[in-house]
Structure 1
Amino acid sequence: MNLSILIPLLNEDESLKELYTWILSIMKSNNYTYEVIFIDDGSKDNSWSIIEELSSENPNVKGIRFMKNYGKSQALHAGFAKAQGDVIITMDADLQDSPEEIPGLYEMITSQNFDLVSGWKKKRYDSVVAKNLPSKLFNWAARKTSGVQLNDFNCGLKAYKNVVVKNVEVSGEMHRYIPVLAKNAGFNKIGEKVVQHQARKYGETKFGMERFINGFLDLITIWFLSKFGKRPMHLFGAIGSVMFIIGFFAAGFIGCSKLYHMYNGMRYSLVTNNPWFYIALTTMVLGTQLFLAGFLGEIILRTKNNEERYKVSKEIN
């Protein structure tokens, strides 16, 4: 099978039939063998009914329905697990991603041998203040932190080799950083393609300013996981050990100073009257706690079980 097209969605019943018809025309004109997988992330409208209708008309249309809204990352994770195509295309269901871009993305994967190709919506139709400026700042920070030189991490239109999606673990709100996760997994040939961005035709955006705040927090998380996710003791243990040693020597200096004064018959104050005593004590306590945090992290890493991150209520095909 040439293509698996994954479409996570939430309350997009107005756009689904139009999107499906558009995708179908592209598949037929290019003679692709394909599957279209809709992942309904707990929609409250008629989205699932439309998916069932499309599936009854075309066996290449498949569906996954979550019991409630779990988030885009979980939807993509479920879609990645089900996808069978040689090339996986992800796109949003709101018609802002153009299916006309699919052949170009497919060609970059198959002919130019990219592991992953990310879309770049160079010209956008979003609000400049509400989305464009925060997005530019976010993408700049993501490039500097991750080392992946993409201009648009947030673009939902991406293409992957099958082997990539089967070897990246998408959880939490990490769907923005799949290229970073792919790089960390050893897939280094990551490309970018300028794609057309369309103005939203139906409904309202599901994303607000909070997604950029969450995005920055997730960026910090993924930076930490890429650096120390497999060896937390290297960070917490190292910092904890340094802090404990500093505190220990500071306490030793205070104790030796008191003994010196006692031996020479000099007046001295109680150790507890010296502020450095409390600084040294606090430093040793914090150092011990950080060391133990690293130790516990190593134990958890070696004993953790895979958790069920979402519940599927129905599947089609």
Structure 2
Amino acid sequence: MDISVVIPLYNEAESLPELTEWIRRVMEQHSFSYEIILVDDGSKDTSWQVIMDLKKGNEQITGVKFRRNYGKSAALNVGFAAAQGDVVITMDADLQDSPDEIPALYDRVKNQGADLVSGWKQKRYDPPTKTIPTKLFNSVTRSMSGIHNLHDFNCGLKAYHKDVVKSIEVYGEMHRYIPVLAKWAGFTNIQEQVVQHYPRKYGTTKFGPGRFIKGFLDLLSIFFVGKFSKRPMHFFGPIGVISFMIGFFITFYLICEKLMSIAQGTPYRNVTDQPLFFLSLLAIMIGTQLFLTGFIAELISRNSSERNKYQIERVV
């Protein structure tokens, strides 16, 4: 199979018929063998019924329905697991991404050797409340990840070699940083392509302002896991040792100061009467705890068997 199109959706019943017909038209025009995987992320409208109806007229459509809303990352992760195409295309279900971009994206991956091609919505039809924070996050992500050639990490329209989607795990809000996950997994040929962005035709956006906080926290998680998942002691250990040594030398200094005062017969204060002693004690405790945290983390696998288990109601 040439292409798998993975589309996560939540309350997008109105746009699905037009979107799937648009995809079908593009695929047949270029003689691609394909499948469309529609992942219903617990929609409360008639999205699932629409998917069932669409499948009757197009056998290339596969529908997956979650029992409740898990989020876009969960939907993508399940879609990636189900994808069988040599190239996997992801796009949003709101008709703001154009299926006409698929042939060029496919060519970049299949024939030009890209591991991942991320779309760049150079001209966006979104309000400033969405575009300005997005630019900030993209800038921070470029700096922290070292992927300097991408302008828009969170564009829903992307193309992947099948090995990429089978090698990464997307959870939480990690869908915003899939290029970073791909890089940490060893896929370094990450490219960008300018894509057309359309105004939303139906409904409203499903993402609130809380996504920015979650996204930033997940970026920190990616940074930590990518660099220290196999060696957490290299993160906690140095900080713990430094903190412990600072506390130890402060305590040693206070004790030596008292002993010298006793030897010289000059007035002195008890070590425990000085505020600096309690700061040194705190530093020793924090250092010990950080060191033990790193040691324990070395013994515990970061992969939980329950992380990506979702209650799927049915698959058709």
**TM-score under structure 1 normalisation?**
0.96
Q: How far apart in 2 are the matches of 1:179 and 1:278?
A: 46
Structure-1 residue corresponding to 2:224 = 224
CA deviation string 1:166-219 (max 9, x = no partner): 001111110011111111111110111000000000000111322223222221
Q: How far apart in 1 are the matches of 2:304 and 2:101?
A: 41
**CA displacement at 1:303 relative to structure 2:** 8.2
**CA displacement at 1:291 relative to structure 2:** 0.9
Q: Which moved more, 1:161-170 or 1:253-262?
A: 253-262
Structure-2 residue corresponding to 1:282 = 282
Q: How far apart in 1 are the matches of 2:305 and 2:295?
A: 18
Among the aligned pairs, what percent are the same residue?
56
CA deviation string 1:52-103 (max 9, x = no partner): 1111222210011111000111100000000000000000000000001001
Structure-1 residue corresponding to 2:256 = 256
Structure-2 residue corresponding to 1:167 = 167
The one-letter amino acid of 1:136's match is K
Q: How far apart in 1 are the matches of 2:269 and 2:224?
A: 45
Structure-1 residue corresponding to 2:130 = 131
Q: How far apart in 2 are the matches of 1:304 and 1:155?
A: 28
Structure-2 residue corresponding to 1:56 = 56
What SS does the aligned partner of 1:39 have? strand
1:7 counterpart = 2:12: no
Structure-2 residue corresponding to 1:208 = 208
**CA displacement at 1:304 relative to structure 2:** 4.8
**CA displacement at 1:266 relative to structure 2:** 2.2
Q: Which moved more, 1:302-311 or 1:54-63?
A: 302-311
**CA displacement at 1:222 relative to structure 2:** 1.2
What SS does the aligned partner of 1:136 have? helix
| Runs of 4+ in structure 1 over 6 Å off | none
The one-letter amino acid of 1:137's match is L
Q: How far apart in 2 are the matches of 1:138 and 1:79?
A: 26
Contact 2:74 2:308 in 1 (8 A): no
Q: How far apart in 1 are the matches of 2:304 and 2:70?
A: 22
Contact 1:74 1:309 in 2 (8 A): no
Contact 2:41 2:75 in 1 (8 A): yes
Q: How far apart in 1 are the matches of 2:239 and 2:123?
A: 45
What SS does the aligned partner of 2:313 have? strand
What SS does the aligned partner of 2:301 have? helix
What SS does the aligned partner of 1:301 have? coil
Matches within 5 A, 1:1-317: 1-127=1-127, 129-149=128-148, 150-301=150-301, 304-316=304-316
Change (3 A) 1:308 1:101: closer
Q: Which moved more, 1:58-67 or 1:203-212?
A: 203-212
Q: How far apart in 2 are the matches of 1:285 and 1:213?
A: 31
Change (3 A) 1:227 1:303: closer
What SS does the aligned partner of 1:240 have? helix
Q: For this pair of structures, how many residues does the alignment match?
A: 315
Q: How far apart in 1 are the matches of 2:206 and 2:302?
A: 37
The one-letter amino acid of 1:288's match is T
The one-letter amino acid of 1:80's match is F
Q: Which moved more, 1:150-159 or 1:256-265?
A: 256-265
**TM-score under structure 2 normalisation?**
0.96
**CA displacement at 1:247 relative to structure 2:** 0.8
Q: Which moved more, 1:254-263 or 1:283-292?
A: 254-263
Q: How far apart in 2 are the matches of 1:303 and 1:200?
A: 38
Change (3 A) 1:305 1:299: farther
The one-letter amino acid of 2:220's match is I
